[in-house]
Amino acid sequence: MINFNKDLFLRIAKAVFNCDSPTGFTKNASGIVEGFLDEFGYDYKELNNGAVEVFVKGRDNSKLVATSAHLDTLGLMVRSIKNNGALALTMLGSPVTASLDGEYCNIYTRDGKVYRGTIQSTSPAIHVYEDAKTKLRSIENLEVRIDEKVKNKEDVEKLGIQNGDIVCYDPKFEVTESGFLKTRFIDDKASVVILLMLLKYLKDNNETFKYDTKIYFVVYEEVGHGAAMVDKNISEFVTLDMGCVGLDLAGSEYAVSICAKDSTGPYDYDVTTRLINLAKENGLNYTVDIFPNYASDIGVARKAGVDFKGGLFGTGVSASHGMERTHLEGIINTLKLTYLYFVK
């Protein structure tokens, strides 16, 4: 069974989580993944849309299967520059906007400059605005206060900031003594780290996948067309993505969640059953759930017309798309199921 190397985890996780990579602005993150693939000794190619594809020959070459994790995260874009010198915003993906109030951020201009700022309510000061406490934290009511001496729109334009610039709120990466991983984009960078750890383990131990396998590091998942470009010849596609936690769901931060159904319908019956049985037989902490407000790259590849059996699992994530958190136990259970399913 694969072991969990905490030092390796921390090294990969620090690099992957601390890199700004909202959907549509993922070059830095693919570069980091490619750096690890080079180090571990894997060939890969970067697809036209920016995704990274790794092909690994399996022990059995009778079929081609695939897995993936998405590198892209939620983020923001400058919608317009306001007359007061603040930035109006539009969303990349669907963050819980209330959780953005007060976040520090980077603003990336198209000529390579990076400015700091704070995302805050348009009624930010309690001593001034009657509705400072009660104003809805919708995207329309949030703006970026730029940390530069700007008083009006012209001042901002002089910095080189324009509509369509990328705004990234801080990832705030932290692993606590008690084993919690706290950072903004556990969805789905935890899975990116897990796949990289698996690849490193296989090289170090001279093991390989059961079947010929394509591993995709996808870049447009958060806006719904991530895996539209998967190889049409795959017969099975099991993606790693976050598990839901909350309400009546069974999922938890300590377990690997196996998804039986999401908003696009059920996952393949046999694949899901196999995942459940493997988790059970190997004593993993696992849960089976339906993910109510959720869609994944499996649905995307189905809609792209690929004929395959689809499955999904991943570590349970608390407060998804908000202040996300999981536990290393959830990561370890997911890493083990990944190994058991694709390699054992």
Active site residue ranges: 221
Residue 262 engages Zn ion in binding (rule: CB under 5 A): no
218: Cα separation from own chain's centroid: 9
60 DSSP 8-state letter? E
Nearer to Zn ion, 241 or 324 (CB): 241
Residue 289 engages Zn ion in binding (rule: CB under 5 A): no
Residue 268 engages Zn ion in binding (rule: CB under 5 A): no
CB of 314 to Zn ion, least distance (A): 8
Is beta strand 166-169 parallel, antiparallel or unpaired with respect to 142-146?
Answer: unpaired
CB of 311 to Zn ion, least distance (A): 15
**Residue 133 half-sphere exposure toward CB, CA atoms < 13 A:** 3
Left (φ > 0), alpha (ψ -120 to 50) or beta: where does 242 sit?
Answer: beta
Considering only residues 143, 165, 187, 324, which one is a binding residue for Zn ion as defined by CB under 5 A?
187
State the binding string over 206-245 for Zn ion (x if CB under 5 A, else -): -----------------------------------x----
Closest CA to 254 of 306, 319, 318, 323: 318
Residue 72 engages Zn ion in binding (rule: CB under 5 A): no
Residue 253 engages Zn ion in binding (rule: CB under 5 A): no
Alpha-helical segments (H) within the chain: 6-17, 27-40, 153-158, 186-204, 269-281, 297-303, 328-342
Residue 297 engages Zn ion in binding (rule: CB under 5 A): no
Closest CA to 73 of 328, 327, 320: 320
CB of 282 to Zn ion, least distance (A): 25
Q: What are phi and psi of 194, to 5 degrees?
A: -60, -45
Cβ-Cβ contacts under 8 Å for 335 (sequence gap 6 or more): 2, 4, 194, 197, 198
- Which 3-state string (H, E, C) describes 288-330? EEECCCCCCHHHHHHHCCCCCEEEEEEEEEECCCCCCEEEHHH
CB of 152 to Zn ion, least distance (A): 39
State the binding string over 128-167 for Zn ion (x if CB under 5 A, else -): ----------------------------------------
Nearer to Zn ion, 121 or 315 (CB): 315
Nearer to Zn ion, 89 or 190 (CB): 190
Considering only residues 188, 212, 253, 268, which one is a binding residue for Zn ion as defined by CB under 5 A?
188
CB of 322 to Zn ion, least distance (A): 14
CB of 300 to Zn ion, least distance (A): 11
289 CB-contact burial (10 Å; exposed 0-12 / middle 13-18 / buried 19+): buried
- Cβ neighbour number for residue 249 with a 10 Å cutoff: 16
Judged by CB under 5 A, the stretch of 45-53, 60-68, 179-187, 335-343 that binds Zn ion is 179-187
Nearer to Zn ion, 71 or 278 (CB): 71
Sites of contact with Zn ion (CB under 5 A): 187-188, 241
